[in-house]
């Protein structure tokens, strides 16, 4: 009987601690209902109108939720296109108080993205760069706690190698069109090579979410 009481006390204590911890996390998020409504309205108005190799909305939400859950603040996106994933990422950062650098090489898509960010009300949370990511990723100082790689797939491993020293421990490196099974394990050439590489590193834990377009999610657990 005494043991049962002690066990119950421990369970109550752990439950209460978890509750307080989650509450503290939730309270540190910024609340801006007007901005949330603006972003939601913009996304609804564009529903099924993302024609420029953009991620599906479910993947956008996935990235958003990873950022909010981990309270990430310093994000990098490689491959802006017209800004669909960037909007989801920046929306999350508007809640954590962070900022996104996003890189696009095509001037037309970069221009369209900047306009979409403005219409969504998220310009303050985004630094949109028109540049070749092969070069700029090397130059950016970081540190980052969240990265989304969605540009040229054959360069995925190189992007990762350049970013790894600038990714904080506890941070997350995600990449699009990466598959766990089929389509050549990890996807075509570059994605498969990247997935095999990141999985070979003992300080990263990688899963693949296949509910949308295939998103690899690699958490950095230690420096090496």
Residues that bind ligand SAM (CB under 6 A): 53-55, 79-85, 103-106, 109, 132-134, 150-152
CA dist 28 and 54 (Å) reads: 31
The two tokens of residue 219 are 């958490």
Q: How far is the CB of 62 from ligand SAM (least distance, A)?
A: 12
Q: What is the largest CA-CA distance in the chain?
A: 72
Report how far apart, in Å, the C-alpha atoms of 6 and of each of 15, 16, 93 are.
14, 15, 42
Cβ-closest position to ligand SAM: 79
Q: How far is the CB of 154 from ligand SAM (least distance, A)?
A: 10
Nearer to ligand SAM, 133 or 198 (CB): 133
The 3 state secondary structure assigned to 36-65 is HHHHHHHHHHCCCCCCCCCCCHHHHHHHHH
Q: How far is the CB of 200 from ligand SAM (least distance, A)?
A: 25
Nearer to ligand SAM, 65 or 132 (CB): 132
CA dist 218 and 212 (Å) reads: 17
The two tokens of residue 131 are 């540049």
Nearer to ligand SAM, 25 or 108 (CB): 108
Q: How far is the CB of 1 from ligand SAM (least distance, A)?
A: 59
Nearer to ligand SAM, 155 or 201 (CB): 155
């Amino acid at each position: 009987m005494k043991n049962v009481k002690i066990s119950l006390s421990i369970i109550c204590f752990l439950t209460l601690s978890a509750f307080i911890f989650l509450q503290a996390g939730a309270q540190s998020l910024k609340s801006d209902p007007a901005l949330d409504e603006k972003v939601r309205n913009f996304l609804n108005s564009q529903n099924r109108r993302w024609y420029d190799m953009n991620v599906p909305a479910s993947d956008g939400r996935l990235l958003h939720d990873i950022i909010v859950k981990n309270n990430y603040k310093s994000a990098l996106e490689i491959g802006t296109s017209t800004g669909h994933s960037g909007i989801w990422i920046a929306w999350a950062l508007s809640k954590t108080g962070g900022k996104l650098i996003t890189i696009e090489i095509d001037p037309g898509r970069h221009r369209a993205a900047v306009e979409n960010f403005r219409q969504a009300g998220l310009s303050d949370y985004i630094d949109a760069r028109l540049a070749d990511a092969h070069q700029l990723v090397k130059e950016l100082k970081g540190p980052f706690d969240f990265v989304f790689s969605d540009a040229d797939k054959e360069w995925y491993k190189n992007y990762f190698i350049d970013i790894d020293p600038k990714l904080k421990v506890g941070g997350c490196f995600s990449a699009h069109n990466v598959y766990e099974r089929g389509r050549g394990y990890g996807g075509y050439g570059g994605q498969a090579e990247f997935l095999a590489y990141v999985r070979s590193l003992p300080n990263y834990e990688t899963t693949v979410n296949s509910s949308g377009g295939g998103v690899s999610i690699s958490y950095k657990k230690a420096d090496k």
